[in-house]
Amino acid sequence: MKENVYDLGYRIKKLREDMGLTQDALASRLGVKVLTIKRYESNEQHPPIDKLERMALLFRVSIDYLMNLDKRKSIYIDDLPHSKQKMILEIIDSVRSEYVTSKMGD
């Protein structure tokens, strides 16, 4: 199946499968019926915002990603050891600082 990046249902299904969840397991985690998940994945029904929020947290992506409003997946570092989080944040700050400095020179 070729990914259709504009297809919310496809993204939900792909993320669910990537996590190794069944439709039943996802339904249980969202507090909905399996039929509702089937409808989400087939685009017969769109999830309300509270379900989108839950899915974004569960799948570790942003709602923007689910809705194709952002072309990138979010990156979460919360599960990394504190030392690794600190290193990543320092790199981000460094890159951000270089970007701001280069923009000021333009």
Rounded to 5 degrees, what angle do the CA atoms 76, 20, 56 make? 40
Same domain as 24, residue 55? yes
Residue 28 in any domain: the answer is: yes
| 100 CB-side CA count, 13 A | 6
Look up the domain containing 26 and give its range. 8-66
Residue 1 in any domain: the answer is: no
Q: Which of 18-32, 53-67, 82-96 has the highest mean pLDDT?
A: 18-32
Q: What is the pLDDT of residues 28-53, one digit of tens each?
A: 999 999 999 999 999 999 999 999 99
Residue 16 in any domain: the answer is: yes
Of 41 and 66, the structure prediction assigns the larger pLDDT to 41
What CATH number does the domain containing 37 carry? 1.10.260.40
In angstroms, rounded to a whole number, what is the distance separating the alpha carbons of residues 40 and 34? 10
Contact call for residues 40 and 29 (beta carbons, < 8 A): no
Residue 3 in any domain: the answer is: no
Domain count, the chain: 2
Contact call for residues 37 and 23 (beta carbons, < 8 A): yes
